[in-house]
Amino acid sequence: MPHLLRFLLLSATPVNAGRIILQIREQLKFVGAVDPRAARSKKLKGKASAKSTDGAILDTLRSGLRFKNMLCEAFLKELKSVDHPRDHKVIDVWLIMLIYANGGALQKSAEKILKSKILQECIRETLFDQCIHGNTELVKEHFMSYLSVSDYLLACKEEKAREFAAYLFTALFEEFTDTYSRLELVGSLVAHIGSGVSYEVSSALDIMISLTSNNSEELIPISSHITGILDYLESFHEDNLRKVYDIFCRLALAAGFNTGSGGSKVANELLMVVRKQVGNPDMKYRRMGIIGVLRIVSTIASTDVNAAVNCSSSQQPNCEEALELLTMSVNSCKFVTLPLIFLYDELAALLDSKVIHSSIHEWVGEHAAELFETPFLADLENGELPEKCVCDDIEGELWMKLDGNVSPVCLNIMPLASTAPQKSQSCLQILMSQFSLLTTIERLVNEGSLGGINALLGCPLHLPSTKHLDGAKWGNLSGLQKKTVCYSLYYAINWIRELLNAFGTQVESRVDNVSQKARDETAVKLMKRVRNLILLEGLLNAFLKNYPLSLPELRYLGDCSGATSTSKFNIPKNMGEQSINGASSKRQKGCKGKASEKMNPDDKLKQPTILDAFKRAGVTVSQATNKASSQPSSSGMMSKDIEQDANDPGELGLIDLMAAPIKLDMQRFKFRTLHTTCLSLLNYSECQGSSSYLETELPTYIYLLRDLHNKLDNLNPSAKPFLSTSQAKYTRSHCHKSTQEFLDKIQPLFLVLRKHLNGAVSMIKDVSESCPDNWSSHSSSAGNPDIPYVVVSKSSIVTAVCKEILGCYRKLLAIPDLLNQPNMSILKQLLQTLQPTKNFDDVLSEFQPSLAPCNVDYLYCGACKMLEDIMDPVSSFSYLLSSDVLITLQSIVNSVVVLLEKSGEPNGKNIHMGCSKAIIPFLRKRLGYSAHKLLSADFPSEDAEKGWQNKGDLIQKILQIYLRNSDSTSDLLVEILPKEPSLKTKDTQDVSYGFPTLCSSTIPSWYRVLHEENTGSLNKTIKQALKARASPERGSVDTILQEIQKSVEAFVSLIGMCKAHEKVSMHAMAVKHGGKFIDTFLKAFSFLETHFEQHNGTIVKMLRILQKATRIIQSICSDAKGNKRTMITSKVPPAKRSMERFLFQVKALLHNCSAEKEFQMGNLKHKDLQGHVVSSQAYGSVDEEDEEQMETDSDAPADEENNNDNAMDEDAVGGSNETPMEEEEE
């Protein structure tokens, strides 16, 4: 066989190379018939030696492929054409390896083909399994090729490719037991771990953990090579640090972790490293040490480990070692706030996730209880303080007594929040993490029950008296007093959030030893605590609006928090005692004269703005600009009264508790995180079946809905504006949860979300304003103080609920993992909760055969219909809210498209998922219709005063949806363009017929979108034209030319609008998008030249029409240069270059098609936008010379205007005296 194969390869020519490769693939029975199970058990180890027939065949193939690249190319081409997994064979793997080993350009081709086959699941693990297992001697000669391929796959971005690489590394490690091979494998993994690429590092660490779990004893002899990972610790984020320490803990455990008996080299080195890190004053290294200590503790004090060792005498020394490490860690962090917070949080997460020896529980419980009780709790007499407390001339009082006068203690916040005692502040910062650790231990000791500390849930809070919170009195407070008030409210908010985290576990049904009565009582108190949170956050947000202040961090902002980009603009770099106690002495010394005396001592805590950065850089900023920029941005959910009154430094104004706390959200990343278990309160109702459910409980749910929305936002982050106020990030405990775990936890909430959405829509339909006492009465029952300037309106409740729920739906549908096959049941459940209440089969009558109700495509259509049904009542209530409904509808369409792309079926149909590509046109049509209805809707009464001035971005989004989801964008443009306002009016209510949203104040937004979509439509048509050029048909060519002509006519109409509108922004957009349109049109010249002979009249007419637009652009450019309008002149050079290229392309087209007579030359006359001839001196040196111009006229001689209006002004391109500005988005 090897001799015959050599003969065939030597006789290969370009003609028969493909056939030879095909025969080799079909006829050559290669290795791989070995039973993999027998191979793994080493029964057939070495079966195929290098000197066997298979080895000779491989040598023959290697030599043949090395010297004839055409054979390699023929094989790669043949392999590309194989689509089904069963048609791939073992010989394919070997041929890929041989081609890869040859190097050169074909090596890259082999890599790409192998990767694509793996991603398509055509080449599976079984093929490599047959190549590797049981064929050690044969694979040994090609070991480095296999290792290199594994390295390549491990460095890929695609997760499936990295999973395949993990299999290859594991298979090679199991098959090759010699030291050299294993050193190569380990060295390669260590190199990947040090690459600095996050996904590559994470996958390599996962492989190393797998190897140490299954082959730890075999890795001990080469452990010195693994310790190289420790050199990269500084670059790892927390997840990878945990993996690194897990690797070394497994190795140390296998080698013997008992330090008393000498231990092992790995264990000693690991302990030495973590001890140095914990004692390091740098937080970066101390964080590494804390993580390392807790991973060691989880390993040596785990009851599972002790059971596996099966040696009772080793349990006590292991626990002693663990307690020693814990004690060392706590002592090293005792006087440093953030490391201690991080230690407590990590320890609580560890105890909650792993079974640790009881001695560790006892030590942690005693430590947490001892630290918690003394400083934070104050005794009460008959529910009142024994004596009044005054701190910084601020009186205190008890807030939020859920248990009335029976509470024996209160949380002593205000005295500790006072800025005078420095250590008290640090105590309060640690309070929440200590309480979290205490509740974790309490649950573990009492089988999930928190009955022993139940009094803390209802105990009152010692906070500043409400008389200091009045708007007038607030203005009279000093800076230190305001800081005390803000800090007190801030710590109270986070205390309550930790109460929700702790006692939210008692509401869950999984706690068996908690009775139903106790569970209901706890739920009632938790709902009251949520009402407390709403009030406290509303007040603190208003205070921060009036008195900007950087809040202290209550959790360690690790890698997952994502707060780095936010914090460096919003908070000072150091968050220690200096930021709490005011300006430092050094900064005070730097102040000069009276300015330093009048300066607010907390100015340094104010959040720096971009204008501050400009000032530091020496850029002059006017005082008016600075003042304007410092005003808070308006929000669609914030009433007008709030915006006006909040700007008055002496008054706080009305506080709408349902409005988003924008100022507070800017520092939300410092807050304690609400756990996912707290979201189960969304399913709890105090008044089941009561008609007052909507008015009384929906406001409470808003807080939880916002938290769910933020969690989904962090799970699947999208592009956001710079310094977005919603950049609140969540703690590592949430980041560590996988997407699958998170989806499983929130799955029961799908039905609840629909219930609350229906409730909000029913409130919209009920036009009567509900009784304002609903919130007040329930707020009083929750112990909230009576503050007169706090309001809750029906409109704000409805707006907030709908906005948050619709946002949650959009984020859920955008989660990539939700559309994977394993999560199809979760997707179906989500869609089932979005079905309309009435039957909608008549809407789906166009589908033949009809859609099955159990299929995903039917459920998608139902979700679309449900959103359409709520569009009418919502659009009559709020235009902003109805746009949210439309964008949610768009997310459904996008989800279907992504789902069908993931299915991998060429026809876009996946039988297993029950989804067909046929529903996409249907859903797009419905989406376009909804967008049209929204553009045509009358202005809602609540928005009438605001007008359309601030809704430009919203109009653009709706218009884009309308144009992109239509059968023909060009036809819609023809329909819309005649309806533009032709009068130069300033009246915002001067609305053109058909589209109330198309008026003088919104015309720039429409203008930009129409330009972008028209250019996009032309580009799409040209791509179709270039494809049709290969197989031209008369009908298709006519259709393409008609579509191009429609786009040209629309473009001319858009440019012509500049004659009626004098806005500089519109003229700048005309120049900018005009150049882009011309550039796109240039791509069609090869198509036009091909069909010029048959369609010369149509093409020449098209060029003549387009010439009208280039004349107007020329006039705009000249006018802008003469009047020094830099917004326009910065866009002139690229537009002029595009028109010059257009001129030469037209001349070349007519020359190549023997139609030079259509091209005429003339002298340029300067005209303005109205067509009036102006002096050439009006534009300075712009047009000092006569320029050439292009004229296309097929019939009559050119008249004066046609002769003189379309010059390509070359001087204007290169002779401008203006300094172009950086191109901006309009």
The answer to whether residue 642 scores a pLDDT higher than 60 is no
Interval 726-755 mean pLDDT: 69
The string of DSSP codes covering 799-815 is HHHHHHHHHHHHHHHT-
- Mean pLDDT value of segment 508-520: 77
CB contact at 8 A, 658 and 699: yes
pLDDT beyond 90 at 823 = no
CA atoms within 13 A on the CB side of 382: 2
**What is the pLDDT at residue 26?**
75
1204: pLDDT confidence band, cut at 50, 70 and 90? very low
Lowest mean pLDDT: which of 716-725, 748-757, 778-787, 866-875?
716-725
Mean pLDDT value across residues 127-140: 86
Tally the C-alpha atoms within 13 A of residue 856's C-alpha that lie toward its C-beta: 30
Local confidence band at 1162 (pLDDT 50, 70, 90 cut-offs): low
Q: Is-contact 1180 1218, C-beta < 8 A?
A: no
- With tokens 């104010």, the residue in question is 606
Per-residue model confidence as pLDDT tens digits over 947-959: 566 676 788 899 8
Whole-number pLDDT of residue 701: 92
pLDDT in tens, 240-278: 999 999 999 988 888 776 544 444 788 888 899 999 999
Quickly list DSSP for 246-262. HHHHHHHHHH---GGGT
Scanning 738-793, the segments in alpha helix (DSSP H) are 739-746, 750-765, 773-781
Q: What is the predicted pLDDT for the residue at 772? A: 52
| pLDDT at res. 495 | 95
Helices (H), 194-302: 198-214, 216-219, 223-226, 238-255, 265-278, 283-300
Q: 3-class DSSP state for residue 786?
A: coil
- The answer to whether 648 and 625 have CB atoms below 8 angstroms apart is no
Res 794 pLDDT > 90: no
More confident of the two residues 1150 and 590: 1150
* Number of C-beta neighbours around residue 560 at 10 A: 18
CA atoms within 13 A on the CB side of 1196: 5
pLDDT confidence of 805, banded at 50, 70, 90? very high
- Bridge partner residues of 550 (DSSP): none
Q: How far is CA 120 from the centre of its chain?
A: 26
Beta-bridge partners for 40: none
Q: Over 90: is that where the pLDDT of 170 sits?
A: yes
C-alpha dihedral sign at 563, 565, 570, 576 = positive
Element (H, E) at 664: helix 662-665
Beta bridge partners of 991: 999
Beta bridge mates, 411: 377, 461
- Name the band, by pLDDT with cuts 50, 70 and 90, for residue 844: confident
Q: What is the pLDDT of residues 177-235, one digit of tens each?
A: 999 999 999 999 999 999 989 899 999 999 999 999 888 888 988 888 898 898 888 88
Provide, rounded to the nearest whole percent, the portion of the chain with pLDDT above 70.
74
Strands 394-399 and 390-391: antiparallel
Give me the amino acid identity at 366: E
- Give per-residue pLDDT as tens, 434-443: 999 999 999 9
Kindly write down the DSSP assignment for every residue of 712-738, as one continuous string. HHHHS-----TT-TT-----HHHHTS-
Residue 994 CA to residue 989 CA, distance in Å, equals: 14
Question: What band does 25 get if pLDDT is binned at 50, 70 and 90?
Answer: confident
Q: What is the pLDDT of residues 670-687, one digit of tens each?
A: 999 999 999 999 988 876
Output 550 or 736, whichever has higher pLDDT: 550
Using CB atoms within 10 Å of the CB of residue 1054, give its burial: 0 to 12 exposed, 13 to 18 middle, 19+ buried.
Answer: buried
Mean pLDDT, residues 51-78: 75
pLDDT at 1152 over 60: yes
Name the one residue in this structure whose structure tokens are 């805590």. 605
d(CA 541, CA 551) in angstroms, rounded, equals 12
DSSP string, 439-498: HHHHHHHTTT--GGGTHHHH--EEEE-GGGGSHHHHHHS-HHHHHHHHHHHHHHHHHHHH
The lowest-confidence range among 50-59, 243-252, 453-462, 522-531 is 50-59
Prior bond to 375 cis, omega within 30? no
Q: Looking at residue 978, what is its pLDDT?
A: 61
The model's pLDDT over 445-481, given as tens digits with 9 standing for 90+, comes to 888 888 888 889 999 999 999 888 877 788 888 888 8
Digit-coded pLDDT (tens) for 779-792: 888 889 988 888 88
For the chain, what is the mean pLDDT? 77
Backbone angles phi, psi at 81, to 5 degrees: -80, -10
Q: Please report which confidence band the pLDDT of residue 615 belongs to, taking 50, 70 and 90 as the band edges.
A: very low
Per-residue pLDDT tens digits for 1011-1048: 999 999 999 988 888 876 655 565 688 888 889 999 99
What does the pLDDT read at residue 238?
Answer: 87
